[in-house]
Homo-oligomer: A and B are copies of this chain.
Amino acid sequence: MGATVCAAVEAAPDMELVARIDAGDDLAQVAAAGAQVAVDFTVPAVTEDNVHALIDLGVHAVVGTTGWTDVSRGRLVAHLGRKAAEGTSVGVLIAPNFGLSAVLAMTFAAKAARYFESAEVIELHHPNKVDAPSGTATHTAGAIAKARAEAGLGASPDATESGWEARGADVDGVRVHAVRLRGLVAHEEILFGNEGEQLVIRQDSFDRVSFMPGVLLGIREVVSRPGLTVGLENVMDLS
Protein backbone atom coordinates (compact mmCIF):
# COMPACT_ATOMS: atom_id res chain seq x y z
CA MET A 1 0.00 0.00 0.00
CA GLY A 2 2.87 2.35 0.81
CA ALA A 3 4.37 2.02 -2.67
CA THR A 4 0.97 2.62 -4.29
CA VAL A 5 0.50 5.77 -2.22
CA CYS A 6 3.99 7.05 -3.09
CA ALA A 7 3.29 6.50 -6.80
CA ALA A 8 -0.06 8.31 -6.53
CA VAL A 9 1.51 11.30 -4.75
CA GLU A 10 4.29 11.48 -7.33
CA ALA A 11 1.73 11.45 -10.14
CA ALA A 12 -0.41 14.20 -8.59
CA PRO A 13 0.35 17.57 -10.22
CA ASP A 14 -0.25 19.53 -7.00
CA MET A 15 1.91 17.36 -4.71
CA GLU A 16 5.54 16.49 -4.16
CA LEU A 17 6.85 13.31 -2.54
CA VAL A 18 9.64 14.36 -0.16
CA ALA A 19 10.19 11.24 1.95
CA ARG A 20 9.48 7.52 2.10
CA ILE A 21 9.51 6.01 5.57
CA ASP A 22 9.84 2.31 6.22
CA ALA A 23 9.33 0.29 9.39
CA GLY A 24 12.12 1.24 11.83
CA ASP A 25 13.01 4.55 10.14
CA ASP A 26 13.15 7.69 12.27
CA LEU A 27 10.04 9.78 11.80
CA ALA A 28 12.06 12.95 12.30
CA GLN A 29 13.10 12.45 8.66
CA VAL A 30 9.57 13.39 7.67
CA ALA A 31 9.85 16.87 9.12
CA ALA A 32 13.48 17.18 8.05
CA ALA A 33 12.41 16.54 4.46
CA GLY A 34 9.95 19.40 4.74
CA ALA A 35 6.76 17.32 4.58
CA GLN A 36 3.50 19.14 5.26
CA VAL A 37 1.49 15.92 5.36
CA ALA A 38 2.41 12.32 6.21
CA VAL A 39 0.38 9.29 5.15
CA ASP A 40 0.33 6.33 7.56
CA PHE A 41 -0.57 2.89 6.25
CA THR A 42 1.22 0.82 8.87
CA VAL A 43 -0.10 -1.63 11.45
CA PRO A 44 -2.28 -1.19 14.56
CA ALA A 45 0.72 -1.75 16.87
CA VAL A 46 2.61 1.35 15.74
CA THR A 47 0.15 3.74 14.15
CA GLU A 48 -0.75 5.58 17.38
CA ASP A 49 2.89 6.25 18.25
CA ASN A 50 3.48 7.43 14.68
CA VAL A 51 0.65 9.92 14.77
CA HIS A 52 1.65 11.35 18.16
CA ALA A 53 5.20 11.80 16.83
CA LEU A 54 3.88 13.55 13.72
CA ILE A 55 1.77 15.89 15.84
CA ASP A 56 4.86 16.76 17.86
CA LEU A 57 6.70 17.46 14.61
CA GLY A 58 3.83 19.69 13.44
CA VAL A 59 3.12 17.46 10.44
CA HIS A 60 -0.48 16.81 9.38
CA ALA A 61 -1.41 13.11 9.13
CA VAL A 62 -3.65 11.02 6.92
CA VAL A 63 -4.14 7.60 8.50
CA GLY A 64 -5.48 4.47 6.84
CA THR A 65 -4.34 2.01 9.49
CA THR A 66 -7.06 0.16 11.40
CA GLY A 67 -7.21 -0.61 15.09
CA TRP A 68 -8.14 2.80 16.49
CA THR A 69 -10.48 2.85 19.48
CA ASP A 70 -12.47 5.57 21.25
CA VAL A 71 -9.69 5.65 23.86
CA SER A 72 -6.77 5.97 21.43
CA ARG A 73 -8.67 8.56 19.40
CA GLY A 74 -9.34 10.43 22.67
CA ARG A 75 -5.59 10.60 23.34
CA LEU A 76 -5.11 12.13 19.85
CA VAL A 77 -7.79 14.75 20.50
CA ALA A 78 -6.11 15.70 23.78
CA HIS A 79 -2.67 15.94 22.18
CA LEU A 80 -4.00 18.01 19.26
CA GLY A 81 -5.75 20.27 21.78
CA ARG A 82 -2.52 20.86 23.74
CA LYS A 83 -0.66 21.72 20.54
CA ALA A 84 -3.46 24.08 19.47
CA ALA A 85 -3.24 25.79 22.89
CA GLU A 86 0.47 26.26 22.21
CA GLY A 87 -0.39 27.82 18.85
CA THR A 88 0.43 24.85 16.59
CA SER A 89 -2.48 23.84 14.40
CA VAL A 90 -2.20 20.23 13.22
CA GLY A 91 -4.83 18.18 11.40
CA VAL A 92 -5.25 14.40 11.57
CA LEU A 93 -7.61 12.43 9.33
CA ILE A 94 -8.32 8.80 10.24
CA ALA A 95 -10.34 6.99 7.61
CA PRO A 96 -11.36 3.33 7.81
CA ASN A 97 -12.05 3.40 4.06
CA PHE A 98 -10.46 5.57 1.36
CA GLY A 99 -12.58 4.21 -1.49
CA LEU A 100 -14.66 7.14 -2.72
CA SER A 101 -17.38 4.91 -4.11
CA ALA A 102 -17.60 2.93 -0.86
CA VAL A 103 -17.67 6.07 1.30
CA LEU A 104 -20.27 7.72 -0.93
CA ALA A 105 -22.44 4.60 -1.01
CA MET A 106 -22.49 4.47 2.79
CA THR A 107 -23.13 8.18 3.13
CA PHE A 108 -25.96 8.23 0.59
CA ALA A 109 -27.49 5.11 2.13
CA ALA A 110 -27.61 6.78 5.53
CA LYS A 111 -29.31 9.84 4.02
CA ALA A 112 -31.83 7.81 1.99
CA ALA A 113 -32.73 5.41 4.79
CA ARG A 114 -35.42 7.48 6.46
CA TYR A 115 -37.44 7.77 3.24
CA PHE A 116 -38.06 4.08 2.53
CA GLU A 117 -40.23 1.40 4.06
CA SER A 118 -37.72 -1.39 3.32
CA ALA A 119 -33.92 -1.56 3.30
CA GLU A 120 -31.50 -4.46 2.82
CA VAL A 121 -27.78 -4.78 2.10
CA ILE A 122 -25.99 -7.30 -0.12
CA GLU A 123 -22.20 -7.44 -0.04
CA LEU A 124 -20.26 -9.50 -2.57
CA HIS A 125 -16.60 -10.49 -2.18
CA HIS A 126 -13.95 -12.92 -3.41
CA PRO A 127 -14.26 -16.37 -1.78
CA ASN A 128 -11.05 -16.07 0.24
CA LYS A 129 -12.63 -13.65 2.67
CA VAL A 130 -12.91 -15.28 6.10
CA ASP A 131 -15.48 -13.04 7.77
CA ALA A 132 -19.08 -12.28 6.88
CA PRO A 133 -20.72 -9.88 6.52
CA SER A 134 -18.01 -7.38 5.55
CA GLY A 135 -17.13 -4.49 7.86
CA THR A 136 -18.38 -2.05 5.24
CA ALA A 137 -21.74 -3.78 4.99
CA THR A 138 -22.10 -3.99 8.76
CA HIS A 139 -21.23 -0.31 9.05
CA THR A 140 -23.72 0.57 6.29
CA ALA A 141 -26.51 -1.47 7.87
CA GLY A 142 -25.81 0.14 11.22
CA ALA A 143 -26.05 3.62 9.71
CA ILE A 144 -29.32 2.69 7.99
CA ALA A 145 -30.72 1.31 11.25
CA LYS A 146 -29.74 4.50 13.10
CA ALA A 147 -31.36 6.74 10.49
CA ARG A 148 -34.54 4.65 10.51
CA ALA A 149 -34.73 4.79 14.28
CA GLU A 150 -34.23 8.56 14.32
CA ALA A 151 -37.06 8.94 11.78
CA GLY A 152 -39.36 6.77 13.89
CA LEU A 153 -39.45 3.90 11.39
CA GLY A 154 -39.84 0.40 12.75
CA ALA A 155 -38.45 -2.75 11.20
CA SER A 156 -38.76 -3.30 7.45
CA PRO A 157 -41.92 -5.30 6.65
CA ASP A 158 -41.28 -9.05 6.51
CA ALA A 159 -43.88 -11.79 6.56
CA THR A 160 -41.33 -14.61 6.52
CA GLU A 161 -42.54 -17.62 8.47
CA SER A 162 -40.11 -20.27 7.28
CA GLY A 163 -36.66 -20.32 5.77
CA TRP A 164 -35.06 -17.63 7.93
CA GLU A 165 -31.58 -18.93 7.09
CA ALA A 166 -32.05 -17.47 3.60
CA ARG A 167 -32.87 -14.03 4.99
CA GLY A 168 -29.31 -13.08 5.89
CA ALA A 169 -27.74 -11.69 9.04
CA ASP A 170 -29.65 -9.26 11.23
CA VAL A 171 -27.55 -6.12 11.83
CA ASP A 172 -29.51 -3.82 14.11
CA GLY A 173 -32.71 -4.99 12.39
CA VAL A 174 -31.38 -4.56 8.83
CA ARG A 175 -30.88 -7.76 6.81
CA VAL A 176 -27.40 -8.19 5.35
CA HIS A 177 -26.52 -10.86 2.77
CA ALA A 178 -22.98 -11.98 1.92
CA VAL A 179 -22.15 -13.45 -1.50
CA ARG A 180 -18.77 -15.13 -2.11
CA LEU A 181 -17.87 -15.52 -5.77
CA ARG A 182 -14.60 -16.25 -7.56
CA GLY A 183 -13.76 -13.31 -9.83
CA LEU A 184 -15.17 -10.62 -7.56
CA VAL A 185 -13.13 -8.29 -5.35
CA ALA A 186 -15.26 -6.11 -3.02
CA HIS A 187 -18.75 -4.90 -3.85
CA GLU A 188 -21.79 -3.63 -1.97
CA GLU A 189 -25.39 -3.16 -3.04
CA ILE A 190 -27.88 -1.30 -0.87
CA LEU A 191 -31.56 -1.70 -1.73
CA PHE A 192 -34.39 0.58 -0.63
CA GLY A 193 -38.05 0.03 -1.46
CA ASN A 194 -41.38 1.78 -1.20
CA GLU A 195 -44.67 0.79 -2.78
CA GLY A 196 -44.02 1.05 -6.52
CA GLU A 197 -40.37 2.16 -6.40
CA GLN A 198 -36.84 1.03 -5.64
CA LEU A 199 -33.53 2.81 -5.08
CA VAL A 200 -30.31 0.82 -5.44
CA ILE A 201 -26.88 2.14 -4.57
CA ARG A 202 -24.11 -0.14 -5.77
CA GLN A 203 -20.40 0.17 -5.23
CA ASP A 204 -17.64 -1.87 -6.88
CA SER A 205 -13.99 -1.95 -5.79
CA PHE A 206 -12.00 -3.79 -8.44
CA ASP A 207 -8.49 -2.88 -7.29
CA ARG A 208 -6.65 -1.20 -4.40
CA VAL A 209 -5.62 1.62 -6.75
CA SER A 210 -9.20 2.75 -6.20
CA PHE A 211 -8.15 4.02 -2.77
CA MET A 212 -5.73 6.58 -4.21
CA PRO A 213 -8.18 9.35 -5.18
CA GLY A 214 -9.44 9.19 -1.58
CA VAL A 215 -5.94 9.35 -0.11
CA LEU A 216 -5.06 12.34 -2.30
CA LEU A 217 -8.32 14.04 -1.32
CA GLY A 218 -7.45 13.43 2.34
CA ILE A 219 -3.98 14.97 1.86
CA ARG A 220 -5.46 18.06 0.19
CA GLU A 221 -8.10 18.54 2.87
CA VAL A 222 -6.27 17.69 6.10
CA VAL A 223 -4.01 20.77 5.91
CA SER A 224 -6.99 23.08 6.40
CA ARG A 225 -8.81 20.98 9.00
CA PRO A 226 -7.05 21.27 12.38
CA GLY A 227 -7.90 18.67 15.02
CA LEU A 228 -9.11 15.11 14.50
CA THR A 229 -11.44 14.17 11.65
CA VAL A 230 -12.73 10.59 11.43
CA GLY A 231 -14.10 9.36 8.11
CA LEU A 232 -13.35 10.51 4.60
CA GLU A 233 -16.97 11.60 4.18
CA ASN A 234 -16.28 14.40 6.66
CA VAL A 235 -13.74 16.06 4.37
CA MET A 236 -15.97 15.70 1.31
CA ASP A 237 -18.41 18.32 0.13
CA LEU A 238 -21.69 16.40 0.40
CA SER A 239 -24.02 19.02 1.87
Contacts and interface: CB of A to CB of B under 8 A. Distances in A.
Contact of A184 (B104, B108, B193): B193
A226 interface: no
Given A104-B115, A175-B179, A238-B111, A162 B132 contact: yes
A117 to B, nearest CB: 4
A81 to B, nearest CB: 27
Interface string A155-187: 011111111111111100001111111111100
A158 B132 CA distance: 11
A120 B179 contact: yes
B209 A196 contact: yes
A182 B104 contact: no
B192 A101 contact: yes
B183 A157 contact: no
Contacts of A176: 166
Contact of A209 (B116, B175, B195): B195
A193 to B, nearest CB: 4
Interface string A201-234: 1111111111011000100000000000000000
The 10 closest A-B pairs by CB, nearest first: A196-B210, A132-B163, A196-B207, A197-B210, A183-B193, A181-B193, A166-B169, A101-B199, A166-B178, A127-B157
Interface of A: 99-102, 104-105, 108, 111-112, 114-118, 120, 122, 124, 127-133, 156-170, 175-185, 191-210, 212-213, 217, 236-239
